Amino acid sequence: MRLSVTFQADETCRCLTTDGNWGDNLLKASREGHYECVKKLTAQINIRHVTEDIKGIMEDKECINKAILAASREGHCTVLETLISVGGNLNCFDSERKTPIIIAARNGFTNTVKTLINLGADIDFSDCHRRNSMTHAATGRHYGIVAILLAYHPNVDIVALERNTALTLAATKGDTDLVKLFLRQKADINHTAVFGNALSCASRGGHTATVEVLLQEGNCVNSAEHDSVPPRGQTPIMLAADAGHIETMKLLLLWGADIDQEDKESRTSLHHAAQISESFDREVFHGKSDHA
């Protein structure tokens, strides 16, 4: 069986290095992780450049960069090292401005991220959505990669679309471990995204454990969404009430949430809770206010 697999691999390599278009073959070999094929194909570069004009050389560079992006999507470390050693751009990017390290971080390829960092990849480069490699790793909940990137001091507060940071994205998902990790790196706990600060994001989603961590770290329990879009002036307990998150509301009350504070429409958290149901209102707020 091993002989059969070896033969098939050798045959694939022979075809890719002798038949068809050089650039297409390099892309296929890189995407599929055929290291020996990539090594043989890249060894032809100097020979090719003796007979090519500037345009041909530039086309070869473009082929190599496409191959780098393909290899990063599949996590082929040795292939990446070979392609970069022959002049590939370590920080090339695709149509969405995603570089190899962004792609590897997003897909959870820890060893590939390590390889690219060691080769000098720009960890703060941001894509068309203004997300860098750490933000993508956080979104994918790839904790090991986040920890690796944080060791190189990336911009932990880089602002992506909808004004989100890695912290507000983690809070929105209720990822308490990541929230703790970013807070240890001094992430801005008061940064306000389109949907509010980290506490607002966690409260809206009913992520009670995350809410507690943020309160312990200093998020104001009565912080209002004055900088949100549009500015609604809603507090965390109002947001939790709107979504019917009873346990989150109870925790916020224990931390001193002001149930009489009003939003931009002069509604208190009691009004927000009453919209869900009267029984819900009574369960959470019984004896908390004289207001109807």
Same domain, 183 and 256: yes
Please give the pLDDT value at position 145.
Answer: 95
Q: What is the pLDDT of residues 126-139, one digit of tens each?
A: 999 999 999 999 88
Which amino acid, 243? A
Same domain, 30 and 99: no
Last residue of a domain, one of 155, 182, 200: 155
Same domain, 126 and 210: no
- pLDDT band of residue 273 (cuts 50, 70, 90) is confident
Could you tell me which residue, 25 or 161, shows the higher pLDDT? 25
Question: How big is the chain, counted in residues?
Answer: 292
Same domain, 33 and 72: yes
Q: Please choose, from the candidates 142, 144, 105, the residue with its C-alpha nearest in 3D space to the C-alpha of residue 123.
A: 105
- pLDDT band of residue 16 (cuts 50, 70, 90) is low
Mean pLDDT confidence for 92-105: 97
Interhelix angle 35-43/77-85, rounded to 10 degrees, is 10
What is the widest separation between alpha-carbon atoms in the chain? 88
The answer to whether 144 touches 113, Cβ cutoff 8 Å, is no
Same domain, 174 and 133: no
Last residue of a domain, one of 123, 138, 155: 155
- pLDDT band of residue 19 (cuts 50, 70, 90) is low
Question: How many domains does the chain divide into?
Answer: 3
Same domain, 200 and 283: yes
Same domain, 151 and 171: no
Please give the pLDDT value at position 216.
Answer: 97
Residue 43's CB is within 10 A of a number of other CB atoms, namely 12
Q: What is the pLDDT of residues 188-205, one digit of tens each?
A: 999 998 888 999 999 999
CATH number at residue 103: 1.25.40.20
Same domain, 179 and 280: yes
What is the distance between the alpha carbons of residues 208 and 237, in angstroms, rounded to a whole number? 11
Q: What is the pLDDT of residues 34-79, one digit of tens each?
A: 999 999 999 887 655 545 555 666 788 899 999 999 999 999 999 9
The model's pTM is 0.78
Please give the pLDDT value at position 2.
Answer: 28
The answer to whether 227 touches 263, Cβ cutoff 8 Å, is no
Same domain, 172 and 255: yes
Last residue of a domain, one of 33, 66, 87: 87
Residue 170's domain comprises: 162-292
Same domain, 217 and 288: yes
Mean pLDDT confidence for 131-159: 90
- pLDDT band of residue 280 (cuts 50, 70, 90) is low
Same domain, 119 and 62: no
What is the distance between the alpha carbons of residues 260 and 257, in angstroms, rounded to a whole number? 9
Same domain, 76 and 53: yes
